[in-house]
Structure 1
Amino acid sequence: MSLTPAPKDDPHTLVSTDWLASHLKDPDLRLLDASWFLPPSERNARAEYEAAHIPGARFFDLEEISDHRSNLPHMVPPVEKFMSRMRAMGVGDGHQVVVYDSTGIFSAPRIWWTFRLMGKNDVAVLDGGLPKWQAEGRETEDLPPVIRDRHMTTQRQNHLVKDVTQVAHAAKLKQAVVVDARAPARFAGEAPEPRPGLRAGHIPGSRNLPWGNLLNQDGTMKDPAVLRMIFQEAGIDLAQPVITSCGSGVSAAILALSLERIGHRNWSLYDGSWAEWGMYEDLPVETGPAA
């Protein structure tokens, strides 16, 4: 299968700090700080945003803008809640959205995926995020943005998300390649899960591709040609549909963004990921490295 990679600066996937600097004052640009940290880090994403953010950025609270009806962590919000929160943030139709985080590339792709799921394609992740922006000596501020309501229409793209039943069916019948972004020790079941009560291991037949393998040392994403080689070396058949997974659906979006960058369009994200699969005793679990 021929894959057409995305250009270096692509407003639908990934843009550089140079691109953002040249478009920062565009009237229809909306910049979102989607920083989020795992609980052990003891970092407060909102407090860090309030102390310093790229000029004009709004804070996208991944935990608050989620489905609070679910007992799983930060599941994708209902369409109505997403639309309401975006309108309150002044994000709507006709806007070019750029999402960044203060790790480099970690939680921002999850918000990119959420917008794509809602049918919004004019959204990109800032390559290297806030650390690269600051390392280059670019401006930050601590002022809240001026918000003006903007209407948003959505058209949910259900093919971009999978639930546990769909993943179990696809894995059993080998209808798709399930790719797990967790660290090798967690994938193999050799390290305990950070969330209590979860079994250790992975979805049977899945492949392991730790999300950090897709990034350079400076937190930027590797070039599409290199990404494609990494997927292939991980034993992932890019002629097949791909379902991305991880611990709770955050780093799985880094895999999804990488697939989009290399031109692989037939992918979806398992929103519940291991937080869900590892919870159900009746679902099969494999341990050890991928076969």
Structure 2
Amino acid sequence: MHTLISTDELDERRHEPDTIIFDASYYLPNEPNNAAALFLDSHIPGAAFLDLDVVSDPSNPLPHMVPPADLFARTVAEFGVGTDSMIVAYDQRGIFSAARVWWLFKLFGHDDVLVLDGGLPKWRAESRKLESGPAELKPTGSFPTNFQAAMVRNRADIEQNLNTKGEIVVDARSNARFTGEAAEPRQGMRSGHVPGAISLPFSDLLRSNQTMHDPATLLTLFEARGVGASAKPVTMCGSGVTGAVLTLGLARAGLPIGALYDGSWAEWGGATDTPIERTA
């Protein structure tokens, strides 16, 4: 399964008409950064800003939930995405929210999608060309979707799995948030984790320069937590963003990618009637 593209390869391919580059940056509610403003200041030439809150379900109060297929199709078609497009997603801090866009395109049946390894920090560190200002959109007629329902889980699925234990829930949040020691960035949110879940902070999948570890190292990380070739993983995080980094890592390690719990802790921890564990 396609996962990453290097800065060298993107620099060679960014001029090709079928290459669509998205800055998919997102910052947590307790962070001061404005992703859209930072895009206008500096971005990879030819890139467009894809707001995760735009490609989300407007009828759902939870943050950036999976959008209806027709909304996703219309939105990406406005950026020139077609059936033959090669999508490259990157973000401003390395590998963080770009994986969510990678997962969304996979979810809607488009396989030719990659995450820029190391993101904008690596691109900038290598003194590659940058530009500023708004993107120039080149709309296409339509973008057909083929929704892959097996790639997503909801609250009812997680509740059922508490009894069946057929899937392994892997939480990408920091260990301190997982144990309940650290407060959640969203006000009023309970701390802890889904009972039976295991912790694998998404940052463990990354090197210090924000590139992703090699497949063998990733495989070791997952297998050490009981996620092997026969496992059925369900990734999650705070709101379905960095859980996708784990999904990306599973794909790079050659393991089954399983599914992503879309509502993640924003839904589970935000409810008052879901069981939680705290190990702080």
TM interval, shorter chain, is over 0.9
Q: 1:45 corresponds to which residue?
A: 35
Does residue 227 in structure 1 map to residue 205 in structure 2? Answer: no
Q: Contact 1:177 / 1:242 at 8 angstroms: preserved in 2? A: yes
Q: 2:183 corresponds to which residue?
A: 192
Q: Contact 1:171 / 1:177 at 8 angstroms: preserved in 2? A: no
Q: Distance between the aligned counterparts of 2:213 and 2:51, measured in 1?
A: 27
Q: Structure 1 residue 264: deviation in Å?
A: 1.4
- Per-residue CA distance 1:229-254 (angstroms, 9 max, x = gap): 11122343442100001111100000
Q: Distance between the aligned counterparts of 1:125 and 1:156, measured in 2?
A: 20
Q: Contact 1:177 / 1:237 at 8 angstroms: preserved in 2? A: no
Q: Contact 2:239 / 2:262 at 8 angstroms: preserved in 1? A: yes
Read off the aligned partner of 2:167 and give its amino acid letter: A
Secondary structure of 1:125's aligned partner: strand
Q: Structure 1 residue 148: deviation in Å?
A: 2.2
Alignment of 1:92-131 (within 5 A): 92-131=82-121
TM-score between the two structures when normalised by the length of structure 2: 0.96
Does residue 276 in structure 1 map to residue 240 in structure 2? Answer: no
Residues 244-253 or 35-44, more deviating: 35-44
- Per-residue CA distance 1:160-188 (angstroms, 9 max, x = gap): 10000011212321111000011111111
Residues 176-185 or 189-198, more deviating: 189-198
Q: Structure 1 residue 266: deviation in Å?
A: 4.4
Does residue 24 in structure 1 map to residue 2 in structure 2? Answer: no
Read off the aligned partner of 1:198 and give its amino acid letter: M
Alignment of 1:2-151 (within 5 A): 12-150=2-140, 151=142
Q: Contact 2:228 / 2:255 at 8 angstroms: preserved in 1? A: no
Q: Distance between the aligned counterparts of 2:255 and 2:185, measured in 1?
A: 31
Structure 2 unpaired stretches of 5+: none
> Taking structure 1 as reference, are residues 250 and 277 closer, same or farther at Cα in structure 2, changes over 3 Å only?
same
Q: Match for 1:202 among 193, 209, 212?
A: 193
Read off the aligned partner of 2:10 and give its amino acid letter: L
Structure 1 unpaired stretches of 5+: 1-5, 7-11
> Taking structure 1 as reference, are residues 237 and 284 closer, same or farther at Cα in structure 2, changes over 3 Å only?
farther
| Equivalent residues, number | 279
- Per-residue CA distance 1:42-85 (angstroms, 9 max, x = gap): 11111111111111001101112211211111111111111111
- Per-residue CA distance 1:110-155 (angstroms, 9 max, x = gap): 0100111110100000000011001001001114343222121110
Q: Contact 1:171 / 1:178 at 8 angstroms: preserved in 2? A: no
Q: 2:203 corresponds to which residue?
A: 212
- Per-residue CA distance 1:193-240 (angstroms, 9 max, x = gap): 221222211111110000100000000000010001111223434421
Q: 1:265 corresponds to which residue?
A: 256
Q: Distance between the aligned counterparts of 1:223 and 1:266, measured in 2?
A: 16
Secondary structure of 2:30's aligned partner: helix
Read off the aligned partner of 1:72 and give its amino acid letter: L
> Taking structure 1 as reference, are residues 282 and 238 closer, same or farther at Cα in structure 2, changes over 3 Å only?
farther
Q: Distance between the aligned counterparts of 1:257 and 1:266, measured in 2?
A: 8
Does residue 155 in structure 1 map to residue 146 in structure 2? Answer: yes
**Superposition CA RMSD, Å:** 1.3
Percent of matched pairs sharing the same residue: 46
Q: Distance between the aligned counterparts of 1:167 and 1:31, measured in 2?
A: 34
Secondary structure of 1:154's aligned partner: coil
Secondary structure of 2:161's aligned partner: helix
Q: Contact 1:62 / 1:74 at 8 angstroms: preserved in 2? A: yes
Q: Contact 2:231 / 2:256 at 8 angstroms: preserved in 1? A: no
> Taking structure 1 as reference, are residues 142 and 168 closer, same or farther at Cα in structure 2, changes over 3 Å only?
same
Does residue 286 in structure 1 map to residue 277 in structure 2? Answer: yes
Residues 70-79 or 209-218, more deviating: 70-79
Q: Distance between the aligned counterparts of 1:283 and 1:44, measured in 2?
A: 33
Secondary structure of 2:87's aligned partner: strand
